[in-house]
Chain A
Amino acid sequence: MHKLRQNLSHLYTVLFLCYLIAPLVVMSGAAFNDSKLPSIVPWKGWTGRWFVDLWNDDRMLMAFANTLWVAAAVAVISVIIGTAAAILINSISGRVRTVLYSMMIATILIPGVVIGISTMIMWTKLGGALFGPEGKPFPFVPGLHLSVLGQVSYIAAMVMLLVLARLQSFDPGLEEAALDLGASHGQVMRRILLPHLYPAIFAGGAVAFFQSIENFNVTQFTRGGADTLTVYVFSKVRSGITPTINALAFLLICVTLVLAVIYEINRRRRARIEAAREAEARRAEEMAEVTGVA
């Protein structure tokens, strides 16, 4: 009976993975089908022309470039704000901490529609209040920079959570040791605290980058006339679509896969190095025990 349940659970996991991955395979497959509509049935033969079309689709490439810019900006700003917030939360306590922390977490739960509209209204109103209703200067008009700000408002909280988790494994004694050795507060931050946080900061940057690429709701309400990939694909799905999108999706999935594999290899390499170091420390310990010399 136990064996049966175990086999069932293996089977379930395999099915679940198929469920997750099959749509991506279907989507990628359609990129190679010589059919005007993006689908894998009926199969009309292999073609690479959707990749050629993709290369010639200026509007899509433009949207793609915009997406990357927005994502990079969101990643940088979110990492800075999120790290600062994590450090702040980690070094205060009591009621202030509870209130600030809850407020930060709540941003993740606010529907994107609300964030989008509120960001848009505030910045345009602020511009109106400062410069009058006509001819508002740069930051106060709709556009992708507002999308960046809107996205940062909740993505920063995700970065904060990642960095905070890492901070909790940090020994504050290291900061004191560095201060005691004569380092200034800036040096402690740069040489001691930030290096410890880098893994979480990089992870946070990656999460922020991908979250930004995913984002539709905030962007939809703040973008003005500019396109991002998400918005472009969305408009295409409604107004007639060609498999160029599939070609792009296939490329994105490949990039994701490559990054994931690199990450995994790197992780394993590091785990091996760390294991080797610990083994050496153990040997040194045993030597000390035998010889009585530390």
Chain B
Amino acid sequence: MSAGIDLENVCCDFGSFRAVDNANVSVRPGEFFSFLGPSGCGKTTILRMVSGFIEPTQGVIRIGGQDVKGKRPNQRPTALIFQNLALFPLMPIWENITFGLEVRGVDKATRRKKAEELLTLVDLPGAGDKMVSQLSGGQKQRVAIARALAVEPQVMLLDEPLSALDLKLRQHMRAELRAIQKRTGVTFIYITHDQGEALAMSDRVGVMSQGRIQQIADPRDIYNNPVNGFVAAFVGENNVFSGEVQNPAGGMAAFATPHGTFRARLGASAGGKGVKLYVRPEHTRLSQTRADENSIPVTISEVSFEGNFISILAISETGAKLAAEIRNDGQATVPGMGAKMFMSFDAERAAILPDANVRG
């Protein structure tokens, strides 16, 4: 029913521009895999190569172990869900859903029945005779998924399908998509620039930048153990310090910055130059007294109440802006504006990382 996908050394050039550079990924059968990255990072190009609209310049793409080189989109066991959904506006819903069966010569009665089954699967029973323009955004979404499922693909490719929805619907559809994926067991490859979506839905995430895959890991690892500065900065917020590594030992090192010397975890391949120290705002603490280590004297300059947490901006003595977060657990003390405090963080929670993995 579902197939794995392997990309081996895949490159894709548009003229002199290299959109995808040496991508190596192995997506397991039945997995929900997301490519996460800013626009222009090459994630859509990967999707279009897998679906067959673009041929890679180099490298091999295998679907279910088979090399698909030269196979046209209509010959691949993949179904693509487009960013704008690309529902056929002149066909009723049921014809939309079973279009893939129609072109395979399936008779009308069977198609009608199949359409109804799929509509039930995506929670839209009885909507078969409506036109596309009669549906809300979320309903269109479901029809697009049903249409892709109708051809019983081994792989579903989704190109930011939720980007047109508003926030509430988007969060609802996340859970829905995840549930449909588990129900059908089809391999999902999901493209998004929204870290929330990628982290919430995926079994594994591939973070991309400038045509390169930066890190492939499960969502917790991506967030907690980013391999480089790009991943750390793109997924979540950070306080970033420039400086120099001193006395690395046992995975830890001292890091000399203008704010003082801190102790922190040494990321893999972070020995050389151009490394920085990354500390997430929720991993910082604010206190009246100086902590034992990794402590910076600051002045509170902005306090904004966000609901479940309180976001704080502080200025260090060298004038750098630092962010902190306090969880709103009902008993947190909120510092006043202009208060002089100390910001500190655990060495285990701070990472020394290289910049993004770019070619050069």
Contacts and interface: CB of A to CB of B under 8 A. Distances in A.
Contacts of B147: 181
A280 B130 CA distance: 10
A83 to B, nearest CB: 17
B224 interface: no
B168 A176 contact: no
Interface in A256-294: 274, 277-278, 280-282, 284-285, 287-289, 292-294
B138 interface: yes
A177 B173 CA distance: 21
B23 to A, nearest CB: 21
Contacts of B103: 178, 181-184, 187, 191
Interface of B: 51-53, 72-74, 78-80, 82, 84, 86, 88-90, 99-100, 102-104, 131, 133-139, 141-142, 147-148, 150-151, 165-166, 168-169, 172-173, 176
A192 interface: yes
A263 to B, nearest CB: 20
A190 B52 CA distance: 22
Interface of A: 171, 173-174, 176-184, 187, 191-192, 195-196, 274, 277-278, 280-282, 284-285, 287-289, 292-294
A191 B99 contact: yes
Contacts of A191: 88, 99, 102-103
A285 B134 CA distance: 10
A189 B212 CA distance: 37
A177 B82 CA distance: 7
B74 A184 contact: yes
Contact of A180 (B79, B88, B102, B131): B79
B88 to A, nearest CB: 6
A182 B169 contact: no
A120 B109 CA distance: 55
Contact of B86 (A173, A289, A294): A173
Top 9 closest A-B pairs, CB basis? Answer: A294-B138, A181-B100, A284-B136, A177-B86, A173-B86, A183-B103, A285-B136, A277-B133, A277-B134
Given A180-B73, A183-B99, A173 B84 contact: yes
Which residue, of A174, A181, A287, A288, has the highest number of chain B Cβ atoms within 10 A? A181
Given A178-B99, A294-B176, A277 B131 contact: yes
B173 A294 contact: yes
5 contacts: A181-B99, A191-B88, A284-B136, A293-B172, A294-B137
Given A277-B131, A294-B172, A179 B136 contact: no
